[in-house]
Amino acid sequence: MVSQLSTQDESHSSVGSLFARGHAEMPVDQLPLERVAAQPTFFRGFGPTVRDIWAHRELLGQLVRKELKVKYKDSVLGFLWTLLRPLLYLFVYSIAIGVFLGSSRTIPDFGIYLFTGLLAWNLFTDIIGGCAGCIVGNAGLIKKVYFPRELFPVSVVGAALVNFVLQIVVLIIGYSITWKWPHADNLGLVPLALAVLVVFALALGLVLAASNVFLRDVEYLVDVGLLLWFWMTPIVYDWTKVHDKLTGHHLNWLFDIYLANPMCDVVLAMQRALWPGGLTARGRAFFYSGDLYGRLGIILGISLVLLWLAQRLFARAQGNFAQEL
């Protein structure tokens, strides 16, 4: 019996070697087709994609550096534009909203109050705007070599986070000038708010990146949508104005919809954590008294589900990217 099994194994191995040798001698156009990077099932493909992205982490780092370099290529000021743009927004809104409309007279340290919201909003717009055009903008790479296409939106997030860290320098300078610092009790809201922002923005960015390949108008619609979204978020105005106006007309349900905006909760959390003016008696009136930890936790859970769904839709669409591009 043992001799028969060994004889069969030897025959199988010899047949296999002959088959491999035959394939090596065959012309390329006559070789059998072999499927590479087979698409996993819809419900089980997220994990393999994450592992694939981790395996290409060095390439991801290169793409992040590319995003940072290309954005300010051939500019004289370079990365200083990362600081100048939010400073310009801060100056314009401080004059228009703070001085002309009188918000600086009611909200203490209005400049820092405004910048804490702009800090989160700039991160959000950098991710959404960058993701929308990241696939189309890298068409040359996509048509030449295979690697996880999700690396492009993830690299946009990485570059946006680098810019976010640079912009925090402006906020620290503001603290140093006013010599008013945030209270440590609320700083725990910052990482939770950033996690919600990044996960939610990446989920939305994956959908926009894939959609823009098939419909190039998406990139322009994003600009319009972000403009509307900005004014639906309490950045240049305080949330109490919306609350008083809607509840005064018995539209509490509409105010609940307003608070369901993820960026609204993120901005409220950043203001509570990073705005020292809220520690004063006058400033406490502009703090949102609700459970922001609980709200952000729920939104983070929903955003993770949306990220999973967005990645699966992105994976289904990426097979046609090269053809569309």
Residue 98: inside a domain? yes
End-to-end alpha-carbon separation of the chain, Å?
A: 60
Residue 307: inside a domain? yes
Kindly report the number of other CB atoms within 10 A of residue 299's CB atom: 25
Determine the pLDDT at residue 182: 83
> Could you tell me the two tokens for 253?
């349900």
Residue 42: inside a domain? no
What residue numbers bound the domain in which 270 lies? 52-324
Between the CA of residue 34 and those of 30, 31, 49, 101, 259, what are the distances in Å?
12, 9, 21, 67, 52
Determine the pLDDT at residue 197: 96
Residue type, 288: Y
263 and 124 in contact (C-beta within 8 Å)?
Answer: yes
Buried b (16+ CB within 10 A) or exposed e, 39-54: eeeeeebbeebeeebe
Determine the pLDDT at residue 26: 56
Residue 114: inside a domain? yes
Determine the pLDDT at residue 146: 77
The pLDDT tens digits of the residues spanning 66-75 come to 888 777 666 6
- When divided into structural domains, the chain yields a total of 1
Residue type, 96: A
Residue 68: inside a domain? yes
Determine the pLDDT at residue 56: 83
Determine the pLDDT at residue 225: 93
d(CA 154, CA 157): 5
Determine the pLDDT at residue 23: 45
pTM of the full structure: 0.82
The pLDDT tens digits of the residues spanning 212-260 come to 888 888 888 999 999 999 999 998 888 888 888 888 777 888 888 998 9
d(CA 216, CA 209): 10
Non-local CB neighbours of 115 within 8 Å, separated by 6+ positions: 86, 90, 170, 171, 174
Non-local CB neighbours of 229 within 8 Å, separated by 6+ positions: 261, 263
Q: Which residue ranges of the chain lie beneath pLDDT 70?
A: 1-43, 45, 72-79, 281-284, 322, 324-325
